[in-house]
Structure 1
Amino acid sequence: MNEQPKPKKQIGAPLNRVDGHQKVTGAATYSAEYQLPNMAYAVLVGSTVTKGRLTGLDTKAAERAPGVLAVISHLNAPKPPGPKPEGKDPSQPQTQGNPLQVFNDDKIRFNDQPIAVVVADSWARARYAAGLVKAQYAKEKHETNLEANADKAFLPTAAKKNPKHPMNDYQRGQVDAYKTGAVKLEAEYVIPTEVHHPMELQAITAHWEAPDRLTLYDKTQGTMATRRDFAKQWGLPEENVKVIATYVGGAFGNALHSWPHEAAAVLAAKVVNRPVKLMLTREQMFTMVGYRPYTWQKLGMSATPDGKITGITHESIGQTSTYEEFTEATLAQTRMMYQSPNVTTRYRLAALDIGSPIWMRGPGEATGAFALESAMDEMAYLLNIDPLEFRLRNYTEQDPEKNKPWSTKFLKECYQLGADRIGWSKRQLKPGALRDGDWLIGYGMGVGTFGAHRGAATVSAQLLPNGTVLLQCATTDIGPGTGTAMTQIAADTLGISPDKIRFELGNSSFPKAGTQGGSSTVNSVGPATQEACLALKDKLRTLAAASNPAFTSARKEDVTMQDGYLTVGGNKDTRVSYADVLKQAGGTTVMVEAKPGGEGQKYSMYSFSVHFAEVRVHQLTGEVRVSKLVSCADAGTIVNEKTAGNQMKGGAVGGIGMALMEHALLDDRFGRYVTKDLADYHVPVHADSPAVEVAFVNQPDPHVNALGTKGIGEIAIIGVAPAIANAVFNATGKRIRELPITPDKLI
């Protein structure tokens, strides 16, 4: 027998990004870069008041301006034939569809709400003309301050309707048991509004190819969800709407919604009967595409003197808009992370005159973890116990909320990896004990978790005459390297080199997939890719059997593909060329849908992370520098350690911003942001970010999917901010409970 060498295993290999060359050379085309014949350009005009009604709109000067094709507002906008927003239940989930339809009425709901769109033959002309639109308003008193309206906070409508809704009040054991505990603490924590600022601005190019056929080149995290939204809005069959998002220049949840600017572009393209391109400005990114909501939290905790938690009460009020009830899982981690016989959680919303929030990386859990993990550090200090030891004493061996075993949980291993790398043994229980000249040195930690979610996905696989395998799926890639991971999964399954795999994505015409969010893409699309490749091998085995009987009884896993030939078990004596197989086939395309099984009914499935921070605080100026950051993850099988490491590092840098810088400051007198560009809204730059060290447990979870993956994107940021805040306390003895931690709060 003349056997071929076994191909190198690809899952786990640090493969370079398959689309990296296109991105760094500028060959990648993003949503605002498509050039279509007869293109027009649109610019939005925003409201200058926060609440009230439009009483007049003077567009004459804009309409007369050079190159202007149309000025569209509620006065002249055609009404899409689909469902109208009037009477829409604000509690309904808005994963994509936006209940605020543009130019539908004269009502102003938030500052910078789009009130008109100007369309011209160039962007410069559209922008100039937009400045000529003059509006008159009947202003009404607005409310934009959450804490001033906390007494009006309410239980989400969906929770009122459904006693089992996750946003309902939760109770395990005795209500508010911490109040009678031996050692107790009670503290309030605040996360300010944080705004999505990916490198690529939100943009869309809308093209009505026919009166009933629409193509959108859109920045979206879900091509099929966006297709569904606009098909519904315009009363079209879904197959008549195509959404293309081949490349997305970063997104943190801001592209999980269909926003007013998208609806305005589609409407404008219909009016002028030309393709229309609309890109938001950096300032409009503050007001029109969501944000992490300002959230107030109160956490009470009690423990025995030897460090066993006896009660936790965690309350939260998050902001939402007046036209949509946005909710997030702020309290989820508190209910399941630590062993406590008594846990109470209460979640409320305050409806304000602002645009709707939206999920932002680590949505809910990143906010809730700041309060929970800060309180864990505070309690450890009160007990005079090392914070890591305190967590170990309250470690959960199964999910105390669902009363189910974990599918897998290797958080203790993460603790050990991180503690060793950060040098946790150097940490002193007494704050301010370590210093280097004028710099105080402190160490802190924070834990994160996020559900290992999996949805249905479909992938098609086809062997091409040149020996390349083409895979297609409608999923998007907002930065984690989806195409690279799927290439590795396919290469491993087929036993061929990654350079023989082409994975195409970001097109709603491809086989279906969900949105890229919630750390679910590899968990969902990965199994579909694996199963499509196995089905392709089985089809090829059947076709090859027509010319070589060795394939008749061969198992599909024994069929190998290499150097243009199919073989059984790598035996060259059995080989059949791709060309011969394709001659016999009417086609080799297979399409496979992979769905989650019933494991979620038996197990509680989560990814876990722990972040360790070393900080230096200048005792005179209050300047905080993160000098070292170690992030460790239990995320199941790591498909690509390089791209997974990128995810963890990016989340860690986002956590630095959350802890030390990010704050979208609203002037409540006017309901308008003071910080409205990247000069005033600070995000971390290279000088603010140390070389983040990443460690993975890399143990598969066989219950989530056959690949053993669990998800990384969200846990990369959850727990980072409290790790830094706890390190600042360890350095200075000053406990900062309202983010960001700026020098004025330390001096």
Structure 2
Amino acid sequence: MKDYFFQDSVGKPMDRVDGRQKVTGAAKYSAEYELPNMTHAVLVGSIIAKGRIKSMDTKKAENAPGVLAVLYHQNAPKVPGYVQAAHPSEPKPVGQPLRAFYDDKVYFNGQPVAVVVADTLERAMYAAHLVKVTYEEEKHATDFTKNVSKAFLPTAAQRNPKHPLNDYVRGKKDAYKTADIKIEQEYVIPTEVHNPMELQSIVAHWEANDKLTVYDKTQAVIGTQNAFAKDWDIPVENVKVIATFVGGAFGNGLHTWPHETAAIMAAKKVNRPVKLVLTREQMFTMVGYRPHAWQKVGMSATPDGKITAITHEAIGQTSSYEEFTESTLQQTRMMYTSPNVTTRYRILPLDVSTPIWMRGPGEATGAFALESALDEMAHVIGMDPLEFRMRNHTDRDPEKDLPWSTKYLKEAMQMGAERIGWSKRPNIPGTLKNGEWLVGYGMGVGTFGANRGRAKVRAVLHDDGTVVLQCATTDIGPGTGTAMVQIAAQNLGLAPEKIIFELGSSLYPPSPSQGGSATVASVGSAVHAACKALQQRLATLVADNDAGFKGATADKLTFDNGYLSLAATPAARVSFADVLKRQKLKEIEVTEESKPGDERTKYSMYSYSVHFAEVHVHPLTGQIKVAKIVSCADAGTIVNTKTAGNQMIGGAVGGIGMALTEGTVMDHRFGRYVTKDLAEYHVPVHADAPAIDVFFVNKPDLINNPNGTKGIGEIAIIGVAPAIANAVFNATGKRIRELPITPDKLI
């Protein structure tokens, strides 16, 4: 079958297919669903960081107007999945997610200890303030620095010598220590909070005793469905999850959280639908965050700029009840040609809530240390940082000893350097000025696995020539639906306006969660397969039933603009719609699955980015202005230059926050955040964001998947923070190794 594309749909800057719905308010988010007989729930949070609940006085709350129930550990409906009877031969579980209202234990300040259900939100909020809790407080530990000696190798790595979080050595261990030219520095990233526009929310409704429907803010429709089915011990098909629109998510929607279980419990107790929406303050403690991390990098190099050794150590924060881990050290193992690499990863349990993956997961954290160290090493040997990276470019994965599926990082570097004006960068810091402002240039490289998972897509071709595609995937903002329409238009030979992509429901064929930069590669491949299957069905119909095409084989047909024709005689053609009408068919339907194959054992697959920053620093006040950012990516085929560019811009803005403004502050006397709203926790705003130029190499990776795509979501931010930090050093000569870089650290 010959591929014939409608107007080369892939690669066009097509407007978002759901854009009008979003800007007109027609798009419905989870908290906006209204069900008959709806009730409202409000959580009560702990005011201590560690201890137990001695007593719970709920009488005043229960007697308040409109209150239907006040639930806590002594009266909440029991969750069957909380009872874990591990077989003696099985290894003991390594912690577990917080179980809402399971017992009287308190693990962190702000932990949900009760939920109030009332007939209106205002009444629920009022009654929640009437709940009186007394505690038996224990001494808590929330200060990372004071407790860092308690860090340990994650249990999963202790049990499995081949676990990727185990200590890693290539060549000689800690070889930098005996080198003549070396650096050794420590880097710190504070706790950072996701803070998407849409608050975490859920509407829970038990349609029957064993049939649950939730309208939930989640990045994992099928994952959430499976989790709730397991928790409540009901058939998975009896759990329906709806997440049609998600108002931003950076990883906080990749986990099921206590507030979701609390809402489901409440709905079961009052036998009515329950809506629960977290407050902005609760978003800081109940749905994860980027964990506080300490890192140390030791590096050595030859005078002519060849890296001889890297040692990268990291400690990440976790909770006392669950071991959260991430790939902080992955980039160090495979990015540069050092013959000697050592990595060590540890986690530090504290009396705080569990972290979660935050855009760029551990790689964004690790890249801050690694890419800052690269800049420091280049400065020590007097080499341009771009040239230093070029000299240590890897043409083959040194960790796995495999060829890259594709790698165009050098092209991305050259592209970005030209557009930022890298040639203007002085190698001596503090020497370039613009009026009274110091000017500096910096760069940082990012990488993330070009992941792909198993996904299914249903495609229905109707007799009016339109196609409806369905998949359970969500869209957290990157324009997933738009990309899928473009992929379908390209592969089916149909105008995009005749294609609808329906998503965000567990009633549709399954897909992985939207996370880890894998959605377009996973779901897009299933769309590709479904479109090819539709073409095959059409080919069979005309070959069997149309005299003009009798005996024609699929490989002799072309498909374009809603018509199929013989390649040898293009004038002989018939529309998709007429093929169905002639056979008196209202529609034809296919469901296709796509999954990765053994290519992942033969190649190493990554996306790459490089970010260049120009900053201006006022020498008297320490004020930093990011004047320009240029981000370039090797992300395979770019399906939509507009939405892909939007992702890169969003990542750059997130990187500005990471570098200059974001970071929680905790009062360790109480284990309580001081920064718990958007007034005190400073996310970057329009005034912080400069002109951000985005460029793509745009060369396909057809080894990865049939559309040639690789992920963008993570590499959009990985490397931005060190680019800015390196630019600040180039402007001022001051190296700031603890984020965020605030004026007080420069004056």
Q: What TM-score, normalized to structure 1? A: 0.97
Once residues 604 and 167 of structure 1 are traced to their aligned partners in structure 2, the CA distance between those partners, rounded to angstroms, is: 18
- Matched residue count: 740
User: Taking structure 1 as reference, are residues 449 and 294 closer, same or farther at Cα in structure 2, changes over 3 Å only?
Assistant: same
Aligned to 1:20: 19
Specify the SS of the correspondent of 1:266: helix
For each residue in 1:610-664, what CA deviation from the matched residue of structure 2 results, as whole angstroms up to 9, or x when unmatched?
0000000001000000001000000000001110000000000000000000001
Q: How does 1:87-106 map to 2 (within 5 A)?
A: 99-106=97-104
Specify the SS of the correspondent of 2:448: strand
User: Taking structure 1 as reference, are residues 91 and 612 closer, same or farther at Cα in structure 2, changes over 3 Å only?
Assistant: farther
Q: How does 1:352-431 map to 2 (within 5 A)?
A: 352-431=350-429
Once residues 495 and 7 of structure 1 are traced to their aligned partners in structure 2, the CA distance between those partners, rounded to angstroms, is: 5
Aligned to 1:147: 145
Aligned to 2:267: 269
Specify the SS of the correspondent of 1:358: coil
Question: Is the contact made by 2:538 and 2:576 (CA closer than 8 Å) also made in structure 1?
Answer: no
Cα distance, 1:305 vs. partner? Answer: 1.3
Aligned partner of 2:512: which letter? Answer: G
Cα distance, 1:182 vs. partner? Answer: 1.7
* Structure 2 residue 687 is the aligned partner of structure 1 residue 710: no
Cα distance, 1:157 vs. partner? Answer: 0.3
Aligned to 2:108: 110
Aligned to 1:470: 468
Of the candidates 288, 291, 294, which is equivalent to residue 293 of structure 1? 291
Question: Is the contact made by 2:43 and 2:112 (CA closer than 8 Å) also made in structure 1?
Answer: yes
Aligned partner of 2:49: which letter? Answer: T
Question: Is the contact made by 1:182 and 1:305 (CA closer than 8 Å) also made in structure 2?
Answer: no
For each residue in 1:476-496, what CA deviation from the matched residue of structure 2 results, as whole angstroms up to 9, or x when unmatched?
100110000000000011111
Once residues 128 and 32 of structure 1 are traced to their aligned partners in structure 2, the CA distance between those partners, rounded to angstroms, is: 20
Aligned partner of 1:101: which letter? Answer: R
Specify the SS of the correspondent of 1:187: strand
For each residue in 1:8-36, what CA deviation from the matched residue of structure 2 results, as whole angstroms up to 9, or x when unmatched?
11000111000000000000000000011
Of the candidates 232, 240, 243, which is equivalent to residue 242 of structure 1? 240
Once residues 243 and 394 of structure 2 are traced to their aligned partners in structure 1, the CA distance between those partners, rounded to angstroms, is: 42
Aligned partner of 2:11: which letter? Answer: G
Of the candidates 485, 506, 524, which is equivalent to residue 508 of structure 1? 506
Question: Is the contact made by 1:543 and 1:584 (CA closer than 8 Å) also made in structure 2?
Answer: no
Specify the SS of the correspondent of 1:608: strand
Once residues 557 and 206 of structure 1 are traced to their aligned partners in structure 2, the CA distance between those partners, rounded to angstroms, is: 50
RMSD across aligned positions (CA): 1.7
Aligned partner of 2:13: which letter? Answer: P
User: Taking structure 1 as reference, are residues 193 and 576 closer, same or farther at Cα in structure 2, changes over 3 Å only?
Assistant: closer
Aligned partner of 1:414: which letter? Answer: A
Q: How does 1:446-525 map to 2 (within 5 A)?
A: 446-525=444-523
Specify the SS of the correspondent of 2:545: coil
Aligned to 1:675: 675
Specify the SS of the correspondent of 1:199: coil
Question: Is the contact made by 1:312 and 1:344 (CA closer than 8 Å) also made in structure 2?
Answer: yes
Question: Is the contact made by 1:69 and 1:120 (CA closer than 8 Å) also made in structure 2?
Answer: yes
For each residue in 1:111-170, what CA deviation from the matched residue of structure 2 results, as whole angstroms up to 9, or x when unmatched?
110000000001011001001000000000000111211111100000011111110000
Q: How does 1:624-639 map to 2 (within 5 A)?
A: 624-639=624-639
Once residues 414 and 162 of structure 1 are traced to their aligned partners in structure 2, the CA distance between those partners, rounded to angstroms, is: 38
Once residues 523 and 475 of structure 1 are traced to their aligned partners in structure 2, the CA distance between those partners, rounded to angstroms, is: 12
Aligned to 1:35: 34
Question: Is the contact made by 2:49 and 2:106 (CA closer than 8 Å) also made in structure 1?
Answer: yes
Specify the SS of the correspondent of 1:404: coil
Aligned to 2:607: 607
Aligned partner of 1:459: which letter? Answer: V
Specify the SS of the correspondent of 2:23: helix
Q: What TM-score, normalized to structure 2? A: 0.97
Aligned to 1:730: 730
Once residues 343 and 652 of structure 1 are traced to their aligned partners in structure 2, the CA distance between those partners, rounded to angstroms, is: 29
Q: How does 1:632-651 map to 2 (within 5 A)?
A: 632-651=632-651
Once residues 662 and 599 of structure 1 are traced to their aligned partners in structure 2, the CA distance between those partners, rounded to angstroms, is: 40
Once residues 181 and 611 of structure 1 are traced to their aligned partners in structure 2, the CA distance between those partners, rounded to angstroms, is: 30
Once residues 305 and 378 of structure 1 are traced to their aligned partners in structure 2, the CA distance between those partners, rounded to angstroms, is: 14
Question: Is the contact made by 2:334 and 2:398 (CA closer than 8 Å) also made in structure 1?
Answer: yes
Once residues 431 and 251 of structure 1 are traced to their aligned partners in structure 2, the CA distance between those partners, rounded to angstroms, is: 38
Once residues 268 and 550 of structure 2 are traced to their aligned partners in structure 1, the CA distance between those partners, rounded to angstroms, is: 57
- Larger mean Cα displacement after TM superposition, 223-232 or 142-151: 142-151
Question: Is the contact made by 1:534 and 1:557 (CA closer than 8 Å) also made in structure 2?
Answer: no
- Larger mean Cα displacement after TM superposition, 578-587 or 128-137: 578-587
Cα distance, 1:573 vs. partner? Answer: 3.0
Of the candidates 294, 297, 301, which is equivalent to residue 303 of structure 1? 301
Once residues 165 and 399 of structure 2 are traced to their aligned partners in structure 1, the CA distance between those partners, rounded to angstroms, is: 14
User: Taking structure 1 as reference, are residues 652 and 458 closer, same or farther at Cα in structure 2, changes over 3 Å only?
Assistant: same
Cα distance, 1:584 vs. partner? Answer: 4.1
Specify the SS of the correspondent of 2:185: strand
Question: Is the contact made by 1:212 and 1:236 (CA closer than 8 Å) also made in structure 2?
Answer: yes
User: Taking structure 1 as reference, are residues 657 and 576 closer, same or farther at Cα in structure 2, changes over 3 Å only?
Assistant: closer
Aligned to 2:68: 69
- Larger mean Cα displacement after TM superposition, 341-350 or 582-591: 582-591
Specify the SS of the correspondent of 1:194: coil
Question: Is the contact made by 1:169 and 1:346 (CA closer than 8 Å) also made in structure 2?
Answer: yes
Cα distance, 1:466 vs. partner? Answer: 2.3
Aligned partner of 1:47: which letter? Answer: S
Once residues 563 and 599 of structure 1 are traced to their aligned partners in structure 2, the CA distance between those partners, rounded to angstroms, is: 33
Aligned partner of 1:529: which letter? Answer: V
Q: How does 1:129-148 map to 2 (within 5 A)?
A: 129-148=127-146
Unaligned runs of 5+ in 1: none
Once residues 106 and 451 of structure 1 are traced to their aligned partners in structure 2, the CA distance between those partners, rounded to angstroms, is: 41
Aligned to 1:197: 195
Of the candidates 312, 315, 324, which is equivalent to residue 313 of structure 2? 315
User: Taking structure 1 as reference, are residues 167 and 223 closer, same or farther at Cα in structure 2, changes over 3 Å only?
Assistant: same
Cα distance, 1:572 vs. partner? Answer: 4.6
